[in-house]
């Protein structure tokens, strides 16, 4: 880099100021001949020119991480117009100019002022120009050049992860790939071996190995068992310089787990199991648990239990508990100590997900013997059937036996049994049972139409031990007996037109029967024997449990006969035959030409003949108008009754509202208008009472005005005297009785409403004798002096 080379620099110029970057090989190849190169641009085909310049410098390459004491020399800039007299000044601009790279403005020498790192920036683009110190003008156009940083091995390989986690199935063959680790080197891979990485294993042998070039970790031992060892830690090293001495290295850790495969069959820890069971246990009872051990995990350790064919296979069952992988022995059929006391079972435990690759290791199941002993207990009676069905006719007599139930004691002792009816199932006490033989008999008559079924429960109890009992349902079906006569299915409103013709159908009747014969209903219709031939109507049996009523004569008259009664005899075909007589009421009506009924009463016929349609409409309108007037009058009268009782604001009664509200005393003037009491002349003397409606109109009584120089107390006494003397004046609402003590009180009422004028000076001294509760009242009414005060 210290040698000088003459390097003319050519700059491509065009209207777009496009700069052609010349490869470094061309720049350092020597002087170009002074000629013009002609070329075309991509856009518009304009000619491009380049001119020869006299720039000269060394090749600009620089090593990174320079550790010398002096600044690192980069190169030298020189132009042919530099005569060495110091008239020219070299200026450097671009990447790192002035900070990383400095230039001697007199000589053009370039130095690196700081240590450079290629991994941070591998090349720098700078621009140089030479300026005449005197004129300040450029002697050469500005030229661009590149400084490349050469790499050194200053970076160790680094793995993409500090810790890797991988897994591989146990029992895998040698060379099975586990995981690939990757390390990168920041050095230049195109320059030497600084970035060439080689992998090696530092820890984890002899179980695993690593490919030196790819970094793939593989198994190195065959048939590694998870049950023996599950976790492995492998340390991998990555070294640059192709693994040679002096290369830099980095390490990483790989945690490898062996995953489980189904390579172990289940095994029972013991060959025989013993359980005991009472003979009375219900079906599905768990008698015990057995478990086979499987060192595998997850679904590889799932076990299914089964009972091999043989003794007790139809009596017991085994189910698998999926959570604990245990086999649960259960009862499938009822046990009987008297029949068999000991059962011996063979139970198999097998894997549910065997792996075909390891079937050569042996059968993946195991067998154990389970012995079950049946214990004898006192059992309740057992009925011969789980339920009974009894059919009985509804006309059976009271006390008749309708059926029988039987039960026995399954124990060897064979205790005696008594029977009874559970009265909760026979609240009406219709049935009973003989306690010794189980015969069921009736206590009341039966009726299928009201209750076609009776469901009762029979209890069988041991006589020696009442706690041992059992029950059985008995279903009693009541069979039908033809004991109800047929009758009309509904009430028929039948009419016949006055202009009816003979043979015209006027009504179809149907009947119903409460009985339920097994062959179905069949009804017949006939005239009653007393009137075998009716001159007006004919009964026609339709043979489908209905009958038609036909007219027999030409025309009917309402004036002669407005209603006909037609008796019909109805009977069934069951045994014994039941019959009834239904009477059909037929009215004679006026009809239009199409047979639609218009009127059926004789009065309507007379009215229609006397008045026309217009007259009837006029009468109807008058009646409606009268009704409207009556309603309006009643509404107005009711509105008057709802007017307020008191209108005048100066009425004394408006201010004396309630006496059960304690006011603020004499100074409280907000409760009522005291001015009205002070000025009685303001009242309306002639106003009638509006709170009630008097029965008779009384002459308005005028009183002599005595209000001059009178106080409020005197005014109230005068008013009280006037109302006491007037028997037609009702009590005021504001002066309601508030101390009414009832009819049984020994004291008279204290209300002034019923007081007479003669009782004005009544003696209330006896109130003091009533005790402390009436002390306040005694102080108020104790004497005239206190009242005046």
Summarize pLDDT for 265-282 with one digit per residue, the tens: 899 999 999 999 998 889
Residue 279 near residue 377 (C-beta atoms within 8 A): yes
> What whole-number distance in Å separates Cα of residue 348 and Cα of residue 368?
7
Strand partners, 159: 183
Q: In a 3-state reduction of DSSP, which class is residue 721? A: helix
Residue 260 near residue 230 (C-beta atoms within 8 A): no
Strand partners, 189: none
- Once rounded to an integer, what is the mean pLDDT over residues 653-682? 51
Distances, alpha carbon 221 to alpha carbons 179, 210, 360, in Å: 16, 13, 20
Residue 781 near residue 761 (C-beta atoms within 8 A): no
Q: Which H or E run includes 252?
A: strand 249-259
Among 25, 22, 49, which Cα is nearest to 38's? Answer: 49
Summarize pLDDT for 199-220 with one digit per residue, the tens: 999 999 999 999 999 999 999 9
Judged against a pLDDT cut of 90, whether residue 2 lies above it is answered with: no
> What whole-number distance in Å separates Cα of residue 48 and Cα of residue 41?
8
Among 101, 90, 106, 105, which Cα is nearest to 55's? Answer: 90
> What whole-number distance in Å separates Cα of residue 711 and Cα of residue 676?
12
> What whole-number distance in Å separates Cα of residue 204 and Cα of residue 235?
7
> What whole-number distance in Å separates Cα of residue 325 and Cα of residue 291?
7
Lowest model confidence (mean pLDDT) among 39-48, 338-347, 660-669: 39-48
- Once rounded to an integer, what is the mean pLDDT over residues 410-433? 90
pLDDT-based confidence at 673, cuts 50/70/90?
low
**Interacting residues of 549 by C-beta distance below 8 A, sequence separation 6+:** 494, 505, 506, 507, 508, 509, 537, 538, 539, 540, 566, 584, 586
Residue 306 near residue 275 (C-beta atoms within 8 A): no
Q: Are strands 453-462 and 216-219 parallel, antiparallel or unpaired?
A: unpaired
By the 10 Å C-beta count (0-12 exposed, 13-18 middle, 19+ buried), 40 is classed as exposed
Higher-confidence residue: 392 or 135? 392
Summarize pLDDT for 300-356 with one digit per residue, the tens: 888 999 998 778 888 999 999 999 999 999 999 988 888 888 999 999 999 888 888
Distances, alpha carbon 271 to alpha carbons 345, 348, 570, in Å: 12, 11, 85
Provide, for the chain, the percentages of residues in helix, strand and coil under a 3-state DSSP scheme, each rounded to the nearest 5. 15, 30, 55
CATH code for the structural domain at 158-259: 2.60.40.60
Identify the pLDDT of residue 219.
93
Q: In a 3-state reduction of DSSP, which class is residue 236? A: strand
Judged against a pLDDT cut of 60, whether residue 662 lies above it is answered with: no
Residue 155 near residue 110 (C-beta atoms within 8 A): no
> What whole-number distance in Å separates Cα of residue 309 and Cα of residue 288?
20
What architecture is domain 272-375?
Answer: Sandwich (2.60)
> What whole-number distance in Å separates Cα of residue 384 and Cα of residue 405?
8
Judged against a pLDDT cut of 50, whether residue 45 lies above it is answered with: no
Residue 733 near residue 653 (C-beta atoms within 8 A): yes
Task: Please provide the average confidence, as pLDDT, over all residues in the chain.
Answer: 77
CATH code for the structural domain at 382-479: 2.60.40.60
> What whole-number distance in Å separates Cα of residue 58 and Cα of residue 75?
5
Percent of the chain residues topping a pLDDT of 70: 76
Q: Where are the domains of the chain?
A: 59-150, 158-259, 272-375, 382-479, 487-599
Among 56, 74, 78, which Cα is nearest to 66's? Answer: 74
Bond before 107 cis per omega within 30 degrees = no
CATH code for the structural domain at 487-599: 2.60.40.60
Percent of the chain residues topping a pLDDT of 90: 29
Q: How many CA atoms lie less than 13 Å away from 650 in the CB half-sphere?
A: 12
Most confident range (mean pLDDT) of 62-71, 276-285, 659-668, 731-740 is 276-285
DSSP secondary structure string, 484-518? ---EESS---EEEETTPPTT-EEEEEEEE-S---T
CATH code for the structural domain at 59-150: 2.60.40.60
Strand partners, 503: none
Most confident range (mean pLDDT) of 59-63, 93-97, 308-312, 698-702 is 93-97
Higher-confidence residue: 63 or 409? 409
Most confident range (mean pLDDT) of 241-245, 564-568, 738-742 is 564-568
Higher-confidence residue: 90 or 710? 90
Domains 59-150 and 272-375 share a fold: yes
Summarize pLDDT for 539-591 with one digit per residue, the tens: 998 989 899 999 988 888 888 888 999 898 898 887 788 888 888 998 999 88
Identify the pLDDT of residue 784.
47
- Residue 228, Cβ neighbours under 10 Å: how many? 8
In three state form, how does the secondary structure of 415-456 look?
Answer: CCEEEEECHHHCCCCCEEECCCCCEEEECCCCCCCCCCEEEE
């Amino acid at each position: 880099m210290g040698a000088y080379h003459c390097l003319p620099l050519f700059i491509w110029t065009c209207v777009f100021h496009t700069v052609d970057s010349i490869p470094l090989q061309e720049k350092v190849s020597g002087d170009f001949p002074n000629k013009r190169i002609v070329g075309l641009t991509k856009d518009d085909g304009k000619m491009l020119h380049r001119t020869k310049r006299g720039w000269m410098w060394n090749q600009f390459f620089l090593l990174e991480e320079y550790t010398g004491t002096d600044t690192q020399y980069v190169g030298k800039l020189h132009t042919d117009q530099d005569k060495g007299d110091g008239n020219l000044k070299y200026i450097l601009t671009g990447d790192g100019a002035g900070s990383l790279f400095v230039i001697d403005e007199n000589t053009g020498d370039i130095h690196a002022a700081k240590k450079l790192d290629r991994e941070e920036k591998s090349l720098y683009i700078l621009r140089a120009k030479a300026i005449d110190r005197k004129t300040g003008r450029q002697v050469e156009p500005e030229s661009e050049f590149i400084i490349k940083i050469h790499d050194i091995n200053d970076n160790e390989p680094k793995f993409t992860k500090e810790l890797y986690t991988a897994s591989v199935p146990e029992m895998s063959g040698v060379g099975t790939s586990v995981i690939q680790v990757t390390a990168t080197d920041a050095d230049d891979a195109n320059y030497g071996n600084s970035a060439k990485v080689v992998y090696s294993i530092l820890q984890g042998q002899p179980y695993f190995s690593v490919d030196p070039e790819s970094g793939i970790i593989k198994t190195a031992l065959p048939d590694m068992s998870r049950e023996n060892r599950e976790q492995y830690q492998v340390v991998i090293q990555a070294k640059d310089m192709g693994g040679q001495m002096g290369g830099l290295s980095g390490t990483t850790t790989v945690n490898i787990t062996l995953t489980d495969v189904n390579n172990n069959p289940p095994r029972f820890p013991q060959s025989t199991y013993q359980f005991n069971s009472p003979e009375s246990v219900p079906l599905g009872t768990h008698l015990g648990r057995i478990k086979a051990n499987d060192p595998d995990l997850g679904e590889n350790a799932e076990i299914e239990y089964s009972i091999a064919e043989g003794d007790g296979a139809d009596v017991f069952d085994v189910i698998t508990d999926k959570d604990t992988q245990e086999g649960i022995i259960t009862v499938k059929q009822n046990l009987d100590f008297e029949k068999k006391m000991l059962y011996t079972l063979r139970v198999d435990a097998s894997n549910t997900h065997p792996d075909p690759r390891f079937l050569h290791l042996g059968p993946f199941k195991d067998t154990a013997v389970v012995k079950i002993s049946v214990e004898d207990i006192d059992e309740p009676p057992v009925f011969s059937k789980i339920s009974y069905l009894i059919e009985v006719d509804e006309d059976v007599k009271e006390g008749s036996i309708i059926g029988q139930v039987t039960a026995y004691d399954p124990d060897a002792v064979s205790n005696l049994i008594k029977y009874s009816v559970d009265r909760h199932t026979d609240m009406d006490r219709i049935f009973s049972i003989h306690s010794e033989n189980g015969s069921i008999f009736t206590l009341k008559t039966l009726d299928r139409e009201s209750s076609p079924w009776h469901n009762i429960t029979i209890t069988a109890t041991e006589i020696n031990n009442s706690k041992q009992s059992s029950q059985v349902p008995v279903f009693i079906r009541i069979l039908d007996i033809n004991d109800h006569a047929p009758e009309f299915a509904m009430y028929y409103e039948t009419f016949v037109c006055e202009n009816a013709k003979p043979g015209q159908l006027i009504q179809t009747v149907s009947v119903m029967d409460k009985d339920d014969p097994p062959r179905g209903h069949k009804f017949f219709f006939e005239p009653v024997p007393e009137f075998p031939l009716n001159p007006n109507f004919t009964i026609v049996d339709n043979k489908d449990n209905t009958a038609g009523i036909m007219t027999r004569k030409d025309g009917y008259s309402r004036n002669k006969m407005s209603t006909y009664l037609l008796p019909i005899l109805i009977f069934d075909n069951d045994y014994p035959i039941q019959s009834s007589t239904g009477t059909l009421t037929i009215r004679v009506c006026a009809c239009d030409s199409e047979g639609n009924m218009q009127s059926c009463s004789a009065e309507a016929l007379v009215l229609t003949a006397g008045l026309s349609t217009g007259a009837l409409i006029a009468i109807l309108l008058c009646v409606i108008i009268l009704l409207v007037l009556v309603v309006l009058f009643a509404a107005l009268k009711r509105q008057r009754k709802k007017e307020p009782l008191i209108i005048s604001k100066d009425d004394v009664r408006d201010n004396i509202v309630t006496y059960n509200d304690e006011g603020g005393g004499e100074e409280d003037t907000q409760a009522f208008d005291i001015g009205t009491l002070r000025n009685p002349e303001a009242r309306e003397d002639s106003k009638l009472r509006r709170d009630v409606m008097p029965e008779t109109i009384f002459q308005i009584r005028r009183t002599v005005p005595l209000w001059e120089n009178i106080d409020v107390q005197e005014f109230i006494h005068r008013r009280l005297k006037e109302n006491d003397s007037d028997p037609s004046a009702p009590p005021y609402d504001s002066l309601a009785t508030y101390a009414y003590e009832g009819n049984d009180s020994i004291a008279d009422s204290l209300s002034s409403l019923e007081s007479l004028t003669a009782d004005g000076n009544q003696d209330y001294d006896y109130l003091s004798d009533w005790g402390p509760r009436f002390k306040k009242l005694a102080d108020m009414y104790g004497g005239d002096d206190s009242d005046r005060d």
